[in-house]
Amino acid sequence: MVVRIGLGKLGNIGSAPLLEFLLDERAERKDIAVRVVSSGVKMGADHVDDVAQTLIEFKPDLAVVTTPNATLPGPTKLRETLISSGIPTIVISDSPAKKAIQDIEKSGGGYLIVEADSMIGARREFLDPAEMALFNADLFKVLTVTGAFNVLWQEIDKVLQSLQKGEAPVLPRILVNKEKAVDSSGLNNPYGRAKAIAAYEIARRAADLTSEGCFVVKEWERYTLLVAAAHEMIREAARLADEAREMDKAEDMILRTPHNGEGAVLRKRKLLEKPSKPDSPPA
């Protein structure tokens, strides 16, 4: 059986752009079919309706909605439309989404809230296409090495397995904080794990500066400096994440967990060894 996954992407958060590739990194899986629909950066009601409609037409077995701040009207509407259509739905969002947890649980949805998925420094004096792309590049590095991305795809994979077996899926309801992330990182060196926690926190705290810079401070010279500082924090977090991964390279202990064609997750540590199916799920 091929399980159908519909991804509805609203706005931009760091957890969204690579999501479908995390599920099938070498385009080998035969057990899933994916459809991604997005209205780009727009999150208004009309766009959301259209995205919802297209996703529903795809008849997905599972829907995943990625969105900044899941409490906003647009994301809320998309989530509710999908759920009310009987589609099991997981919301992936950032820290402000914590306030939506109760609502999501009540409606029967799942969620994966990534604390380090910080808001970008969205001020016209600072943010242009290049700065936006660099912020995302650095953030992807942080979310990868610290294990946050691993939580995302592993939790979705679990649901896919249930659906594959015809079981009623148990949707994930997880706040991905520093310890949850790093537990899923596969990092072997304990100092590497400490660096990853540090990177996660630095990335998370960058949001304090972007929200201060975007919503609180009014003088343009001040907020420009604040959002610039936030991006420097993300760049630094990426550097630290890279350092953590290099530590595992230095001992030839990088954990690799490729999917095979059936969607199973294989494992290996040494670069020059074959991946194999573990008896237990990846830790």
Name which of residues 30 to 69 contact a copy of itself (CB under 8 A): 33-43, 47, 50, 54, 58
Q: How many residues bind a copy of itself (CB under 8 A)?
A: 109
Q: Binding string, 72-101, against a copy of itself, x = CB under 8 A?
A: ------------------------------
For 89, the enclosing helix (H) or strand (E) is strand 89-93
E-strand stretches of the chain = 3-9, 32-38, 62-66, 89-93, 110-114, 173-176
The piece of 86-94, 107-115, 164-172, 223-231 that touches a copy of itself (CB under 8 A) is 223-231
What is the rounded distance in angstroms from the CA atom of residue 187 to the CA atom of residue 171? Answer: 26
Q: Is the CB of 63 or the CB of 228 nearer to a copy of itself? A: 228
CB 173 → a copy of itself: shortest distance, Å? 22
Task: Check binding of 128 to a copy of itself (CB under 8 A).
Answer: yes
Alpha-carbon span 205 to 216, nearest angstrom: 16
In the region spanning residues 247 to 276, those forming contacts with a copy of itself, defined by CB under 8 A, are: 247, 249-252, 254, 256-260, 266, 268, 270-275
Q: Which x/- pattern over 182-221 shows residues binding a copy of itself (rule: CB under 8 A)? A: x---x--xxx-xxx-xx--xx--x--xx----------xx
From the list 73, 15, 78, the residue with the least C-alpha distance to 50 is 78
- Min dist CB 22 to a copy of itself, Å, is 4
Query: Could you tell me which of 113, 118, 116, 115 has the C-alpha nearest to residue 172?
Result: 113
Task: For residue 170, give both structure tokens.
Answer: 């148990």
Q: Rounded to an integer, what distance in angstroms lies between the CA atom of residue 64 and that of residue 37?
A: 11
Q: Which amino acid is at 161?
A: Q
